[in-house]
């Protein structure tokens, strides 16, 4: 348990630590300088700006890491939050001139199929420019803040889809679908809070959801199955294996249900994109795991004639839970899209568990076959009449 807690705590700390980034060391071409800056909550982007109260304008610089053959965008949404209604500045490499081009467009299509074209925004854009350097796009603009308000709903993006030579479509991962926040242009402090505070806390909770579920469904449950299947072969480990199995599955269930509940909550909060498949598998998993817990209470006695039926049922559901869990964890990876090292770490854990299981499987069969042979020869030499000792009692899958 201590180890698991350690893994959990250190992972969440690492995940939150990765998010802390600084913007005030960034520099800009042509000696551009800005009064304030804020790291944005998603995509590792930053925004620098100077607000001019005299005329209600703001000079902004938006920077985001992106492949040279992709695009970057920063927008103010005067009418709503999120993408629909956003008035965007887009930067990309023009296919024909290969120079960096910047256009402005209004995303006013409610079906998420906007027509991208260079057009006037609903507020004044006094200047616009963009450049590409060191793997990042930077968009510079001077805008008249809509409604002369210092608090604006902003949206930002980076993508690599194109249609007719213009940016079109972006990845659907969490980072790309929650990259919007309210921004206070007046005060740096308020801006830091306003800039994606809610989205950042949401991402933080998604990471906790991911870690909880990977540890419970993805690690403790399979570990508990390995314990049940391979430790029982050793008579000396009876009934220790049983309590270890119960301990693994119960702590897995508690953590798993916590992670599952958090997932449902996040799902109900997420506007727009709903991850139906991930959610449905999650609900199925909860039902199956709960069934397993209740099955424990209904377990027939060891030599009851229905015990074999119960065993088959228990194993079937158990293996289904493991398979579905692994599938859903990878679906979760695709949604949350964390740094590759997390996916690789989980794959390493899975491969290790599979190797341990394979070695133990071979070892178990060797022990069992050996025992069977011994039982047979004992039967012969004693010429005993014990019908029951036909080896069935020591098959690896036999329940205890
Ligand atoms: C807005 O005011 C600032 C100084 O307060 C000035 O530098 C800038 O040119 C003005 N912008 C417009 C569009 O008038
Ligand atoms: C915007 O508001 C400021 C004060 O908050 C004011 O000085 C300025 O004239 C206003 N600009 C416009 C275009 O209404
Ligand atoms: C979207 O904007 C374009 C150009 O400004 C305009 O022609 C079109 O009617 C707008 N569509 C909606 C639904 O407002
Ligand atoms: C954009 O606005 C400018 C100045 O307000 C105007 O001259 C121009 O015709 C507008 N362009 C379009 C496509 O409406
Ligand atoms: C402009 O600001 C006023 C007062 O802050 C608000 O009542 C109004 O709804 C705003 N208009 C728009 C289009 O946001």
Nearest Cα residue to atom 9 of ligand 4: 120
Q: Looking at the domain assignment, is residue 169 inside a domain?
A: yes
Asked whether residue 277 falls in the same domain as residue 323, the answer is yes
* Claim to verify: residue 177 and residue 220 sit in the same structural domain: no
Q: Are residues 67 and 171 in the same domain?
A: yes
**What is the pLDDT averaged over residues 330-338?**
83
Percent of the chain with pLDDT over 90: 54
Angstrom distance (rounded) from CA 223 to CA 225? 5
Segment 172-188 mean pLDDT: 83
Distance 80 CA to ligand 2 centre (A): 22
> Of 139, 163, 191, at which residue does a domain stop?
191
How many structural domains compose the chain? 2
Look up the CATH number of the domain holding residue 293: 1.20.120.1770
Mean pLDDT, the chain, integer: 84
- Give the N- to C-terminal CA distance of the chain in Å, as an integer: 25
Asked if 169 and 263 sit in the same domain, the reply is no
Please indicate, yes or no, if residue 385 is contained in any of the structural domains. Answer: no
Is the pLDDT at 393 greater than 90? The verdict is no
Same domain, 128 and 277: no
At 345-370, the pLDDT tens digits run: 999 999 999 999 999 999 999 988 88
How far apart are the CA of 122 and the centre of ligand 1, in A? Answer: 19
Kindly report the CATH number assigned to the domain that includes residue 180.
2.60.40.1210
Last residue of a domain, one of 171, 191, 211: 191
* 201 Cβ below 6 A of ligand 5: no
Q: Label each residue of the chain as H, E or C.
A: CHHHHHHHHHHHHHHHHHHCCCCCCCCCHHHCCCCEEEECCCCCCEEEEEEECCCCEEEEEEEEECCCCCEEEEEECCCCCCCCCCEEEEEEECCCCCCEEEEEEECCCCCCCCCCCCCCCCCCEEEEEEEEECCEEEEEEEEECHHHCCEEEEEEEEECCEECCEECCCCCCHHHHCCEEEEECCCHHHHHHHCCHHHHHHHHHHHHHHHHHHHHHHHHHHHHHHHHHHHCCCHHHCCHHHHHHHHHHHHHHHHHHHHHHHHHHHHHHCCCCCCHHHHHHHHHHHHHHHHHHHHHHCCCCCCCCCHHHHHHHHHHHHHHHHHHHHHHHHHHHHHHCCCHHHHHHHHHHHHHHHHHHHHHHHHHHHHHHHHHHHHHHHHHHHCCCCCCCCCHHHCCCCCC
Ligand 4 site, residue 119, Cβ cutoff 6 A: yes
Residues 186, 310: one domain? no
Q: What is the pLDDT of residues 102-121, one digit of tens each?
A: 999 999 887 788 889 999 99
Distance 57 CA to ligand 5 centre (A): 17
Per-residue CA distances from 134 to 47, 64, 74, 275 (Å): 17, 10, 19, 35
Q: What are 163-172's pLDDT values in tens digits?
A: 999 999 898 8
Residue 26 lies in a domain: no
Q: Is 57 in the pocket of ligand 1 (CB under 6 A)?
A: yes
Number of the ligand 5 atom closest to the C-alpha atom of 147: 1
Please check whether residue 395 lies inside any domain of the structure: no
Residues 129 and 270 in one domain: no
Q: Is the CB of 56 under 6 A from ligand 2?
A: yes
Q: Is residue 389 part of a domain?
A: no
Q: pLDDT at position 200, please?
A: 62
User: 52 CB less than 6 Å from ligand 1?
Assistant: yes
| 379 in any annotated domain | no
Q: Are residues 347 and 202 in the same domain?
A: yes
Mark whether 358 and 316 lie in a shared domain: yes
Assess whether 356 and 291 both reside in one domain: yes
Task: Determine the average pLDDT of the residues in 331-337.
Answer: 83
Q: Are residues 116 and 246 in the same domain?
A: no
Domain contains 25: no
Domain extent, residue 106, equals 32-191
Q: Which two structure tokens, joined as six digits, stand for 213? A: 């579920």
Say how many Å lie between the CA of residue 108 and the centre of ligand 3. Answer: 6
Q: Are residues 150 and 122 in the same domain?
A: yes
133-149 residue pLDDT tens: 999 999 999 999 999 99
Q: How confident is the model at residue 371 (pLDDT cuts 50, 70, 90)?
A: confident
Q: Is the pLDDT of residue 192 over 60?
A: no
């Amino acid at each position: 348990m201590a180890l698991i807690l350690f893994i959990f705590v250190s992972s969440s700390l690492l995940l939150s630590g990765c998010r802390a980034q600084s913007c005030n060391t960034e520099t800009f071409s042509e000696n551009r300088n800005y009064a304030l800056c804020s790291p944005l909550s998603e995509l590792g982007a930053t925004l620098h700006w100077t607000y001019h109260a005299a005329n209600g304008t703001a000079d902004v610089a938006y920077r985001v890491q992106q492949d040279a053959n992709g695009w970057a965008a920063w927008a103010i949404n005067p009418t709503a939050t999120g993408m629909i209604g956003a008035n965007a500045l887009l930067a990309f490499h023009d296919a024909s001139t290969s120079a960096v081009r910047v256009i402005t467009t209004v995303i006013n299509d409610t079906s998420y199929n906007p027509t991208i074209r260079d057009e006037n925004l609903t507020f004044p854009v006094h200047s616009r420019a963009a450049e590409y350097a060191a793997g990042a796009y930077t968009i510079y603009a001077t805008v008249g803040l809509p409604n002369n308000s210092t608090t604006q709903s902003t949206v930002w993006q980076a993508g690599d889809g194109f249609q007719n030579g213009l940016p079109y479509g972006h990845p659907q991962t969490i980072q790309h679908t929650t990259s919007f926040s309210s921004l206070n242009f007046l005060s740096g402090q308020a801006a830091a809070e306003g800039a994606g505070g809610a989205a950042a806390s949401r991402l933080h909770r998604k990471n906790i959801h991911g870690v909880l579920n990977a540890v419970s469904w993805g690690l403790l449950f399979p570990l508990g199955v390995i314990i049940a299947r391979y430790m029982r072969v050793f008579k000396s480990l009876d009934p220790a294996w049983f309590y270890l199995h119960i301990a693994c599955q119960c702590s897995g269930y508690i953590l798993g249900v916590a992670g599952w509940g958090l997932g449902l909550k996040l799902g109900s909060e997420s506007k727009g994109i709903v991850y139906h498949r991930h959610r449905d598998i999650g609900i199925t998993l909860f039902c199956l795991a709960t069934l397993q817990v209740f099955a424990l209470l209904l377990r027939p006695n060891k030599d009851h004639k229905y015990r074999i039926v119960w065993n088959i049922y228990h194993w079937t559901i158990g293996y289904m839970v493991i398979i579905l869990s692994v599938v859903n964890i990878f679906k979760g990876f695709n949604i949350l899209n964390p740094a590759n090292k997390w996916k690789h770490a989980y794959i390493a854990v899975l491969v290790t568990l599979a190797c341990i299981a394979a070695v133990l499987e071979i070892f178990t069969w060797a022990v069992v076959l050996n025992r069977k042979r011994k039982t047979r020869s004992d039967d012969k030499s004693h010429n005993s009449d014990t019908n029951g000792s036909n080896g069935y009692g020591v098959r690896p899958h036999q329940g205890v």
